[in-house]
Structure 1
Amino acid sequence: MVLLHTKKLIVVIIGAFLNALAMNLFLIPAKIYSSGFTGAAQLLSNIFHGGISTGVLLFVLNIPVTILGWMKVGKSFTLYSFISVALMSFFLEVLPIYEVSNDIFLNAVFGGVIMAVGVGFTLKWGASTGGMDIIAMVLSRVKDKPVGTYLFTMNAFIIVTAGYLFGWEKALYTLVALYASTRVIDAIHTRHEKLTVLIVTKKAEELKAAIYAKLVRGITTIPAKGAYTNEHKDVMMIVITRYELFDLERVINEVDPSAFTNVVQTSAVLGFFRKE
């Protein structure tokens, strides 16, 4: 358990460093905006003409969100998310702002990709970069709408405001950065809020007990038989949120490493889906 948390902390540190690197070397010098609270902090910093840095604003904006996440989302997830935010704010302050290229398109692409690598691996290890991720989770549980709706609304506000205040060309290149970032995050992890996991296993009972000990999710077990081997197995179907994927993967690897697991994006769930 200590080794797991150590690895998770290392991933969070690397993710925060990559996020800050993308901001200070590519996005901030080119005045291209990031997504979520990072983009909001960047926008506010420019409105204040740099009087308050992006790192400080990012940290301040995330304090009330962290309190909300601690009460509504989960302590472990929120703690690691806050550590990620605190480290990113620290790196934003200590790393110099340096323009690597004066080509705005290259800044948009490389900034978006590097940031996405940091965000993607942070998500993959069961944490987040805080901010809008936590707010979207809370709102989606209240209204049961996709998290993407809230992320899109937040990012649209940032882009429109940036375009109105600082020029529409910057806003359009911000869209390029967001597109590159989204594609890379999808490749590393997933942006989909709900996922359906199909597990083909010969250890259904042991796996069921282990999953119930870790997650509060319903499981449907379907009898199955291998077409080639004729072995009798079970297919376990479970719908989870993307933030539970890390824990579920750990459970499967511990109980039945040879299990065949298929993770499918879920656009909607009709019927009961636990939101607490």
Structure 2
Amino acid sequence: MQNYLKNIDILEEGKKFAVAVCSALLLALSLNLFLIPANVFASGFTGVAQILSELTMLSPGLLLLLLNIPVAILGWMKVGKSFTFYSFVNVAFTTFFLEALPVINISQDIILNSVFGGVLGGMGAGLVLKFGGSSGGVDILVLLLARKSDRPLGIYFFILNAMIVLTSGAMFGMEIALYTLLTLYVSSRLIDALHTRHVKLTAMVVTNKGDEVQEALHKNITRGVTRIPAKGGYSKEDKEVLMIVITRYELYLLHQIVNEADPAAFTNIVQTTGVFGMFRKDQ
């Protein structure tokens, strides 16, 4: 990834920055207009910040920023600079919008608040993921935790969100916990629609420039590549299928790399439910 960042495209980076800011606005609106007035909790560090805010009376925005600072430092050193930078930009602007925008109770219906809070939150999280960042905290932490264990990454998301649901139930009653579950479900479905909820993905790149694409991948993503001979069914051209397993955080970077190395390449992305063997965990 460091090699890729040496050749920064100003327009591309500006687009990613703008997306991170727009995503932050959506996340802040989901909280200040729907979730906070209804005492319903979001997923991840945002939900943790809401819980801590109820206990300490500090603002959720400030707590969200404080929770993300140590994780961002670790992510910068261990996960990847571009991914961590745009994740922290998203968190910083989420904090800004949470403080700048008023908390307004638009509806008294807690179901509407739960659903629309989940929709806006899912749109915000899915949008920044689609462009090579994240909404911070948990995404970075999960990648770091996964290196110490062979367990699938999804279990860490499940554990943290289960803790948020149980804590919300203990603080406000099980009815609120159920509405929190509704919000988590809606937001996850929006992330599915905009990006992907699957942590590991397999990319199959069909190209007649196998050497160029493989070299570009090796320079920018530390992953093994399997090359399979192929032939175009219509053109009868000799081609290759380059198969590579990546994490969802590398999907945007992969798209850029392949498009630059061979704009005519065809890439199919599929869910990977499990990986055995030499899958590099420290990316």
1:13-48 C-alpha deviation (Å, 9 max, x unpaired): 000010001100011111110001100000111123
Residue in 1 aligned with 2:101?
95
Offset of residue 71 of structure 1: 2.2
Confirm whether residue 248 of structure 1 aligns to residue 271 of structure 2: no
- Taking the TM superposition and a 5 Å limit, the aligned residue runs for 1:16-165 are 16-48=24-56, 51-165=57-171
Report the counterpart of residue 202 of structure 1 in structure 2. 208
Q: Which SS does the other structure have where 1:142 is aligned?
A: coil
Residue 208 of structure 1: how far off its partner (Å): 1.1
SS in 2 for 1:18: helix
2:242 aligned residue (236, 245, 253)? 236
For structure 1, which segment, 12-21 or 183-192, has the greater mean C-alpha deviation from structure 2 after superposition? 183-192
Partner of 1:143, secondary structure, is coil
Inter-partner Cα distance in structure 1 for 2:83 and 2:212 = 26
User: Which range is displaced more, 190-199 or 221-230?
Assistant: 221-230
Q: 2:175 aligns with which of 169, 174, 179?
A: 169
TM superposition score normalised by structure 2: 0.94
Q: Matched residues in 1 for 2:268 and 2:37: separation?
A: 42
Residue 148 of structure 1 and its aligned partner are, at CA, apart by: 1.3
Of all paired residues, the percent bearing the same amino acid is 56
How far apart are residue 227 of structure 1 and its match?
2.3
Equivalents in 2 of 1:236, 1:111: separation in Å?
40
What are the Cα deviations for residues 173-230 of structure 1, in whole angstroms up to 9, with x where unaligned?
1111100100110111112111100111111111111111211111111001122332
User: What is the distance in 1 between the residues matched to 2:120 and 2:153?
Assistant: 23
SS in 2 for 1:236: strand
SS in 2 for 1:261: strand
Q: How many pairs align? A: 274
* Distance (Å, rounded) in 2 between the aligned partners of 1:227 and 1:78: 41
Counterpart of 2:6 in structure 1 is: none
Give a deviation string over 1:85-114, Cα, whole Å, max 9, x none: 111011100100001111111111111011
List structure 1 runs of 4+ shifted beyond 3 angstroms.
none
Counterpart for residue 183 of structure 1: 189
**Secondary structure of 2:53's partner?**
helix
Secondary structure at 2:21's aligned position in 1?
A: helix
Calculate the TM-score normalised by the size of structure 1: 0.96
Structure 1 Cα separation of the partners of residues 163 and 137 of structure 2: 15
Q: 2:194 & 2:152 partners in 1: Cα distance? A: 20
More displaced 10-residue stretch of structure 1: 154-163 or 255-264: 255-264
Give the equivalent residue in structure 2 for 1:222. Answer: 228
Q: Distance in 2 between matches of 1:216 and 1:145?
A: 21
Root-mean-square deviation (Å)? 1.1
1:218 match: secondary structure: coil
The 2-side partners of 1:231 and 1:141 are apart by: 41
Give the deviation of 1:133 after TM superposition. 0.9
Following superposition, the deviation at residue 129 of structure 1 comes to: 1.1
Aligned-pair distance for 1:255?
A: 2.1
**Shift in Å, 1:59:** 0.8
Residue 236 of structure 1 deviates from its aligned partner by 0.7
**SS at structure 2 position matched to 1:57:** helix
